[in-house]
Amino acid sequence: MGLSSILSKTVDSASSGFLKKALTGAGLGLASTAGVTVLVNSYIDNLRTSTGGLSSELLAILHLSALDYALSIILSAVVTRIALNSVGLQLSKLSK
C-alpha cells in the first residue's frame, strides 16, 4: 500500500463528509460577507464625502480627541458582528 493510495482514500472519505460540508459552508460565508462588504464600503464612502466639507481645524480637533480611531473601532465591530451573524444564518440553513 503506497502513499498515493492512502492519500486517495483519505481524500475520498473526507470529500464525502466533513471536508465537503466545511468547504460548502465557507463558500456561503464568503458570499454573504462579500455582500456585506459592498454595503459597508458604500456607507464609509458616504461618510467620507459628508465630512469632506468640514474645516481642517475642526478635523484636527476631532483627530486630537481620537474620534477617528473610535469610529474605526465601532465600524469594525459592526462589520464583524454582521459577518458573523450572516455566516451563522447560512450554516444553520445548510445543516437542516
Instruction: Supply φ then ψ for residue 18, to 5 degrees.
Output: -60, -45
Spatial separation of the C-alpha atoms in residues 18 and 88, rounded to whole Å: 17
How far is the C-alpha of 39 from the C-alpha of 45, rounded, in Å?
Answer: 10
The whole-angstrom separation of Cα 68 and Cα 75 is 11
Chain segment 8-29, per-residue pLDDT in tens: 666 666 556 666 666 666 665 5
Q: What tens digit of pLDDT does each residue of 28-78 get?
A: 556 666 777 788 788 888 888 887 888 889 889 989 999 889 988 988 888
- pTM of the predicted model, to two decimals? 0.49
C-beta neighbour count of 87 within 10 angstroms: 19
> What is the model's pLDDT at position 65?
93
